[in-house]
Structure 1
Amino acid sequence: MPTPQRYPLASIAFHWLIALLIAAAFTLGTIMTDMKISPTKLQYYSWHKWLGVTVLGLVALRLLTRLLSQAPTYPNSMPEWQKKIASLTHGVLYLLMFAVPLSGYFYTSAAGYPVVYLGLIQLPTIIGPNPELKPVLKELHELLTNVLLVLVILHVVAALKHHFIDKDGLLQRMLPGR
């Protein structure tokens, strides 16, 4: 079977939907942490958790589609060291897209709060209330989120570099449309 020149439509849809949801969760997380306690802040926390759970589920589906379909190869003009860094970065991005929502879920559980997805489905409590673990998990969630942010920025910069400077068609592989 020949190597595809573009990602499958499902991968493209997952990529952009997950990117949008991560951006929304990050923005909401940044806003809500600086707010004074209020019904609005509590609502933002709920939405933030819902976004995290949704990202976690979509990333699992995205990984499944990635494992079941062949990715396009990197352009021949791309140096080998860039190919290795790109592959490593993609692997770490997948790891973080799982680790960030899971660390938030564990932090919420250690803080003694349930995660009720969309206000309808209470997810199981994996870690019971734990005042000693709570600050550790909060720090871990923030650290992983910041690492994810840095890698996403590098990912976007690299994609734009390939598009505008190298003009090697790399970005087109993941853009919607033709």
Structure 2
Amino acid sequence: MEQSQSPYYTRTAQWLHWIMAIIFIVAYAIGFYSGNFLSYEVDGSFKGSVITLHKNIATVIIFLVIIRIFWRYTHPVPKLPDSMSPMMKSFAHMGHLALYFMLLALPITGCLFSWSAGHPAPVLYLFEIPRLVEANDDLLYIVKPLHIYLSWAAGLLLIGHILAALKHHFIDKDNVLRSMTRQGK
């Protein structure tokens, strides 16, 4: 992927970034809430409704991340600041790859979790992703904890991503955060 001479991401890349960030954070919060604070024994139908909401929102990420990856690799990205060391630039690239991996792995393991438990994987209450597996306790035993562990790792990556952006903006005073929020004149 080539780097752009422009200090800004394209407007499309910016919109995809922020829309996906909002969807991810909302889906994450709902999933965290339903997984840690609701119980089927106490409030089963409410928990089921909350999990259904989580799935309807989170599955959208599968479609958006495919569009975003295509966009990213067909449009140059802004050059990282010269003040960053080669090692820090490598960490930045690895961090972005890890985020893209999580944006794919979480909804995929979520769908597998849902299907292996015998439930659908709905998208925005409009349609369901076709089932690729039938109910399967052996698969459920693997994908349920995998989805949960990946969600914790994704949460940590997200916090790191936000902290890095804030560090660039407030401490380094470079253009990294602005490259995702502004356009040139």
Q: 1:40 aligns with which of 36, 46, 53?
A: 46
Equivalent residue for 1:123?
129
Q: What is the rounded CA distance, in whole Å, between the counterparts of 2:4 and 2:137 in structure 1?
A: 55
What is residue 25 of structure 2 aligned with on the other side? 23
Q: What's 2:144 paired with?
A: 138
For 2:38 and 2:56, the matched residues in 1 are separated by: 19
1:73 aligned residue? 79
How large is the Cα RMSD of the aligned pairs?
A: 1.6
Q: Does 1:111 align with 2:105?
A: no
Q: How far did residue 135 of structure 1 move?
A: 2.3
User: What is the distance in 2 between the residues matched to 1:80 and 1:2?
Assistant: 18
Shift of 1:3: 1.7
Query: Gaps (5+ residues) in structure 1?
Result: none
Structure 1 residues 159-174: aligned runs within 5 Å:
159-174=165-180
Conservation of the 8 A alpha-carbon contact between 2:115 and 2:131: yes
Q: What's 1:62 paired with?
A: 68
Gaps of at least 5 residues in structure 2 are none
Q: Distance in 1 between matches of 2:117 and 2:4?
A: 51
Q: How far did 1:75 drift?
A: 0.8
**TM-score normalised by the chain length of structure 2:** 0.91
TM-score using structure 1 length: 0.94
Which stretches of structure 1, 4 residues or more, deviate above 3 A after TM superposition?
A: none
Match 1:11 to one of 10, 13, 16: 13
162-171 or 120-129: bigger deviation: 120-129
Aligned length: 178
